[in-house]
Amino acid sequence: MIFGYARISSKSQNLSRQIKELEEYGCDRIFHEKQSGKDFDRPIYQEMRSKMRFGDVLVVHDLSRFGRNKKQILVEWKNLVEEEIDIVVLNMPILDTRKYKELEGVGQLVSDIVLTLLSWMVDEERERIRTAQREGIEIAKKQGKFKGGKKKYHAGATGRDKILYDEVVKCLQENVSVMDIHRKTSLSRNTIYSIKRQIDNTKVLN
């Protein structure tokens, strides 16, 4: 079976182009989600992986849709290859593991070289964006324009926001995992971690 995977990291981006290309490629099933690519702890990606078997093919538009962490990209790629699941990166035809099945060792060598280079570039771009964001915030602070993001879920929240906040606090106190809380409340993991930090900081101050 040919699996297509599309990902964007923010609501301002659009999945349509990726999905269209995966459909045109002939993917049997297409999974897509709005999640950060900093790691592979993504609900939809993990759901897809649980369904993949020997001989299946994973297709992505480009390497950055696969992930944005050099080390984790390399580890996940190796895991897929070892499970004999082929990988196709549409905008980089050389990264198609099916091409080298008859050339023992060559496919791995090509993939290792190109993947290392590309994953490094993805990692560098991610770090460049983060650095630019930090610098922009620092400039805005100096100019008195940066107020910081207004927290939606906190102890003083009201209505549905307070209900969700209280539920997260309750789950954290019961040592429920962040992923399980995410599934239960539909809040992002970043939001849950933010609430956890609020609680931890309150404990320190007290």
Which range of residues forms the domain containing residue 35?
Answer: 2-122
Q: Is residue 30 part of a domain?
A: yes
Give the count of beta carbons closer than 10 Å to the beta carbon of residue 179.
13
Pair (8, 85) in one structural domain: yes
Residues 73/67, Cβ–Cβ less than 8 Å: yes
Pair (7, 61) in one structural domain: yes
Closest by CA position to 6, among listed 89, 80, 78: 89
| Residue 2: strand pairing partners | 57
- Chosen domain end from 122, 146, 174: 122
Distance CA 78, CA 76 (A): 5
Pair (171, 118) in one structural domain: no
| Local confidence pLDDT in tens for the 206 residues of the chain | 999 999 988 766 788 999 999 999 999 999 999 988 888 999 999 999 999 999 999 999 988 888 777 778 888 888 898 898 999 999 888 788 887 766 565 556 666 666 666 666 666 666 666 676 676 667 666 666 555 556 788 888 888 888 899 999 999 988 898 889 998 888 888 889 888 888 777 654 44
Query: H/E element holding 60?
Result: strand 57-60
What letter would DSSP give residue 145?
A: -
Structural domains of the chain, count: 2
The CATH number linked to 198 is 1.10.10
Q: Is residue 149 part of a domain?
A: no
